[in-house]
Structure 1
Amino acid sequence: MSTVTDDPAGRESTLAADGAGYPGHITVRQRALTTVARAVTAESLGVDPGQVSVTLRDDSGLLGLDVVTPISIPDLDTVGAGYAGTTLLQRISDAQTVIRSGTTRITGNQVGRVDIRVRGAHIEQERRVPR
C-alpha cells in the first residue's frame, strides 16, 4: 500500500514502492496528482480538463479530492419527451466512484473522499454524421 505525505508547502510526496519488487521510493509530485485527478474527472463528466479544478487534501491518511467542475448534459431541445437518462445526482455519484478508482489506479495513491461541486453545465451539441 502506498502512502502520501501531505506537504502544505507544495513539495513532493514520497510513496513506498510496496509490492513492486524494487527497493526504494517512488516520488510523485503534487502537481502530477492534481493533473491526473483533473483528467479523470473531465473524462468521467464529459468536460474539458481545463474547466476542472482539483484541490488535494489529507483524508485521514488517504488522498482526498475537492473537485469543482461543470457537467455535460444533453441539449434538452434535442431529446424526446420519453428521455430516460440518469439523474444529475446519480451521475455525480457515479463520477465520484470513477474518479476515486481511476486516480488510485493511475497514481498508486489510495483515494478516500471525493467532494464534487458542480459549477455549471456544458450543453452537448447534437453530433451529425457526415454523408
Structure 2
Amino acid sequence: MSSGASAGRGSCAAERIGHNRLAHAAIRKTVESVTAHAFGVETGDVSARLDDDAGRLGVNVTVKLALPPLLLRRSSPETVFEQAQAARKEIVARGTAITGLTIGRVDIRLTGGKPRQPKERRVE
C-alpha cells in the first residue's frame, strides 16, 4: 500500500461512509411517549401503529383517557375534539423534532372510561 492511500483513510470523520437507522420499535415508542405527554396520560395508556403516508410517516394512536379529564371538560373551554386537535399538532411538531422524520397523517382514537388510579398504594 502506498502512503497516500493510508493517509486518506480516516483522515476526516465526515468522509466516513455509513448510515443511521432508527428501529421501527424506537420510532413507535417515541410517538407513544410524545402522545402521552400531549394528552397528559401515562405512556402505558397510549398505543401507536405506524405506516406509510405517501412517503411520510403515518401515525395511528389510541389513547385511553381517564374519567376525571373527560368529566371536567364541562368547565374547560376546550372540547375533547379541540384537545385532540392541539395534541395532533404537538405530536407532529415534537415527533418530527425528535426523530427527524416527516410526519404526515395523524389519526387519533380516544377511548375513555378508565378510572384514574392513585400512583402510590400502601399495604398495611
Structures share a fold, TM > 0.5?
Answer: yes
Q: What's the secondary structure of 1:40's corresponding residue? A: helix
- Matched to 2:89, the amino acid is T
1:55 maps to: 49
Q: 1:118 to 1:29 in 2, by over 3 A?
A: same
2:105 paired with 1:113? yes
Shift, 1:22, TM fit: 6.8
Q: Secondary structure at the match of 2:82?
A: helix
AA in 2 matched with 1:107: T
The alignment's C-alpha RMSD in Å is 2.3
Partner Cα distance (1:88, 1:75) in 2? 8
For these two proteins, the number of residue pairs brought into alignment is 101
Q: How is 1:33-52 mapped onto 2 (pairs within 5 angstroms)?
A: 33-52=27-46
* Aligned residue in 2 for 1:17: none
Deviations 1:89-109 (A, max 9, x none): 100011111001111100111
TM-score (ref. length: structure 1): 0.67
Higher radius of gyration, 1 or 2: 2
TM-score of the two chains, using structure 2 as the length reference: 0.71
Please point out which of 81, 94, 97 is paired with 2:86: 94
Partners of 2:32 and 2:47 within 8 A in 1? yes
- Percent identical pairs in the alignment equals 35
Q: Does 1:70 align with 2:64?
A: yes
Deviation at 1:84? 3.7
Relative to its length, the structure with more strand (as a share) is 1
Which ranges in structure 2 are unaligned for 5 or more consecutive residues?
1-13, 118-124
Match of 1:11 in 2: none
Instruction: Name the SS of the counterpart of 2:90 in structure 1.
Output: helix
Aligned CA distance change for structure 1 residues 55 and 28 (closer, same or farther; 3 Å): same
Superposed CA offset, 1:39-75 (max 9, x none): 0000000111111110000000000001011235537
Higher helix share: 2
Moved more, 26-35 or 84-93: 84-93
* Whole-angstrom distance in 1 between the partners of 2:39 and 2:62: 12
Q: 1:106 to 1:22 in 2, by over 3 A?
A: farther
Say if 1:98 and 1:22 are closer, same or farther in 2 by CA, change over 3 A.
Answer: farther
* Distance in 1, Cα, partners of 2:77 & 2:112: 18
